[in-house]
């Protein structure tokens, strides 16, 4: 059961402060010369490679006739969701997603197809990987961590990158 104090703690923290930019650079081997943008909301996203050009960069490219580089966006996004029983909630989501479910959209029932999720050992109390979304969901104490990695990597390397990011998040 999540106490009101623990819930208030998760609600008050800046998610990007839990996993700072320097940790992201280290995990994904991003050089200091590569710009990273942090986007904060109820989650945290770090974006690098293929960032949209700034106003001055766009003007310079247009004035000089240069082409802008292709945007091959890479990112790490994570969300910390307080829940009273994280392991039970994670198992329920796993069950629902692997069986498929229906949802009402504009008064019509739509079927959401089952997803092929994989259990990931040795991360938090329990974790699964959703290869369709490049998402790792981890249960730990009174929270679920949802980590999405968008990077040009082999599938097994994506899981390893997400697992490494999750372990860094869990250390804080």
What are the pLDDT digits (tens) for 23-61?
Answer: 998 888 888 888 888 888 778 888 887 555 666 766 777
Total structural domains in the chain? 1
- Provide the residue range defining the domain that includes 75: 4-171
Q: How are beta strands 118-119 and 108-112 bridged, if at all?
A: unpaired
Give which of 121, 115, 116 is closest to 163, Cα–Cα.
121
pLDDT in tens, 66-78: 765 555 578 889 9
Contact partners, residue 86, CB within 8 Å, separation at least 6: 125, 139, 140, 141, 142, 143, 144
List, for residues 102-158, the tens digit of each pLDDT value: 999 999 999 989 999 999 999 999 999 999 999 999 999 889 999 999 887 888 999
């Amino acid at each position: 059961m999540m106490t009101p104090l623990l819930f208030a703690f998760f609600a008050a923290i800046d998610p990007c402060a839990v996993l700072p930019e320097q940790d992201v650079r280290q995990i994904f081997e991003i050089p200091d010369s590569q710009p990273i943008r942090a986007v904060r909301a109820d989650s945290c996203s770090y974006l690098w490679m293929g960032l949209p050009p700034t106003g001055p960069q766009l003007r310079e490219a247009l004035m000089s006739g240069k082409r802008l580089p292709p945007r091959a966006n890479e990112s790490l996004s994570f969300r910390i969701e307080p829940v009273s029983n994280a392991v039970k909630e994670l198992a329920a989501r796993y069950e629902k997603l692997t069986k498929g479910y229906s949802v009402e959209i504009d008064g019509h029932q739509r079927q959401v197809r089952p997803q092929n999720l994989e259990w990931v050992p040795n991360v938090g109390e329990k974790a699964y990987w959703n290869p369709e979304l490049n998402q790792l969901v981890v249960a730990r104490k009174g929270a679920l961590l949802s980590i999405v990695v968008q990077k040009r990597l082999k599938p097994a390397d994506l899981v390893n990158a997400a697992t490494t990011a999750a372990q860094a998040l869990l250390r804080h």
